[in-house]
Structure 1
């Protein structure tokens, strides 16, 4: 009996080690702290863990694996299997994605942002672009339109934006430059210190980021309706890691994307409710721009920057006009 028990114990232990060895854990590099911007990844982990009975899980690291601007590099060498990136942090590394950061392209809500992002992510040029980094696009992190939190006198006209130092990346930064502002591309985690030390006068973020990075804590005014554009921050995967998944693991991952995005959008709904309360509590002045001011901003930024972007892409052998048309077609289809 003792011998049989010993054999049973050894077998059970061996099975345990085998099970552990067969389990798949992906390291995921994000930054900051858990917030609305990362909730789809958290939900994705919850779903795939349940679907695989713990056989496939995500180890989500908030800044412990890489800084935000180097996540794509980390993916390329297999330092981790999944990451969030923002196209505007390194436009030269992912030029095709920057079409989604062009100013005033007309996206009105997160559902439309999901539609246009997915359309671009599936475009052969974007797929090829990311393959240079051994990366694959998994899902968007749909971001609301950016608006400013600033310090000092409210910049409530374009004329007052002349000389304003603003934390803004990608196409949004270019847009502000057209009206005389001075954009800088410090990362989100550096924004509070940049504002506090006077390096910038204002920061362009979506509401969740103004809350998460506390810029609203020291800001004195908020631009409620400028809506110059947004940034595009997809979740990407290491291609080799994805191809190494079992069929069941890959199905668990792919089948969880839509539910993860739906959860993300629902979380953002709660952020919107909280935002107005926080503005009132902090005594932040809300600036609402006159329609003629927004029209002037669009005239200065939208068409010239788009045309310049298309010409630049064409010069690099990238189908710029085709990518822009993909965005517009997806937007029209989403509205139908």
Structure 2
């Protein structure tokens, strides 16, 4: 009997090891702190764990695995399996998706931002470029149009942007440069300190980031309708890690994207509805730029920058016009569907 019991014990122990070995655990690199910008990552992890009965889990790390500007590098070497990054942090590594950061694309809602982002992510040129970093696009982190918070006297005219030191990356930074601003690309985590110390006069962020990184606490005013563009920040997975998933795990991951995005949109929508209350609470002046000034800004910083991007990227062998047209075509189809 003792011999049989010993065999059963060994068998049970071996089965336990096999079960444990079958479990999949991914590390996910994000930054800052948990906020509206990362809620879809948490929802994705929750859904995947539920669908796989706990056999596929994700450890979400806020800055513990990598700097935000180095997340794509970490993915490329397999330091972690999933990460979030923003195209403007290293435009040379992800040229194709910088089309989504061009100023004045005319994207009006978060749902439209999701549609154009995922259409571009699905383009073969994007997949090919990301593969150089062993990265596969999974989903976007949709953000509303960026607007400025600033210190000192409020700026109501585009001519007042001359010499303005602004934290802005990618196409938004180029838009401010076109009207005489002086953009700097300090990371989101460094923006508050840059503003507090006077390194910058203004910071361009979406609403959640002004809250999360504290720039709203230094602000005297906020532009409610400048809307020059936004930053595009994908969630990517390491290709080797993705390919190593079982069919069931891969299905659990892929099938959870749409629900995670929907959750994100609902959550961010709640933030947008209470934004005016946040401004009032913190004593921040709400600045409305006139239609004439906005038209001037778009004339100087819209089409010229878009056309320059198309020319530059085409010269580098990218299907730039095709990508740009894809954004506009997707916008049209999305609005027609609504």
Scaled by the length of structure 2, the TM-score of the pair is 0.97
2: distance between equivalents of 1:217 and 1:3? 71
Which stretch shows the higher mean deviation, 259-268 or 16-25? Answer: 16-25
* CA RMSD, Structure 1 to Structure 2 (Å): 1.0
Query: Which residue does 2:190 correspond to in 1?
Result: 190
2: distance between equivalents of 1:278 and 1:8? 63
| Cα offsets for 1:189-227 (capped at 9, x unmatched) | 000000000000010000000010011011110000000
1: distance between equivalents of 2:211 and 2:21? 41
Shift of 1:18: 1.6
Shift of 1:81: 0.8
Structure 1 alignment gaps of length 5 or more: none
Shift of 1:14: 2.5
Query: Which residue does 1:293 correspond to in 2?
Result: 293
2: distance between equivalents of 1:281 and 1:331? 36
Which stretch shows the higher mean deviation, 161-170 or 2-11? Answer: 2-11
Query: Which residue does 2:322 correspond to in 1?
Result: 322
Are residue 306 (structure 1) and residue 300 (structure 2) matched? Answer: no
Shift of 1:159: 1.3
Shift of 1:48: 0.5
Q: Equivalent residues in 2 for 1:153-172 (5 A)? A: 153-172=153-172
| Cα offsets for 1:227-278 (capped at 9, x unmatched) | 0000000001111111111100100000000000000001101111332221
Q: Equivalent residues in 2 for 1:52-71 (5 A)? A: 52-71=52-71
Query: Which residue does 1:26 correspond to in 2?
Result: 26
Query: Which residue does 1:40 correspond to in 2?
Result: 40
Residue 265 of structure 1 aligns to a residue in which SS?
helix
Residue 267 of structure 1 aligns to a residue in which SS?
helix
Tell me how many residue pairs correspond in the alignment: 336
Query: Which residue does 2:208 correspond to in 1?
Result: 208
Summarize the Cα distance change of 1:24–1:315 in structure 2 as closer, same or farther, 3 Å threshold. same
Query: Which residue does 1:229 correspond to in 2?
Result: 229
1: distance between equivalents of 2:11 and 2:213? 51
Shift of 1:20: 1.3
Shift of 1:19: 1.2
2: distance between equivalents of 1:95 and 1:304? 18
Summarize the Cα distance change of 1:282–1:14 in structure 2 as closer, same or farther, 3 Å threshold. same
Residue 60 of structure 1 aligns to a residue in which SS?
strand
Query: Which residue does 2:260 correspond to in 1?
Result: 260
2: distance between equivalents of 1:54 and 1:19? 12
2: distance between equivalents of 1:94 and 1:267? 28
1: distance between equivalents of 2:9 and 2:280? 63
Residue 302 of structure 2 aligns to a residue in which SS?
helix
Query: Which residue does 2:109 correspond to in 1?
Result: 109
| Cα offsets for 1:85-130 (capped at 9, x unmatched) | 1001110000000000000000000100010001100111111111
Structure 2 alignment gaps of length 5 or more: none
2: distance between equivalents of 1:38 and 1:120? 21
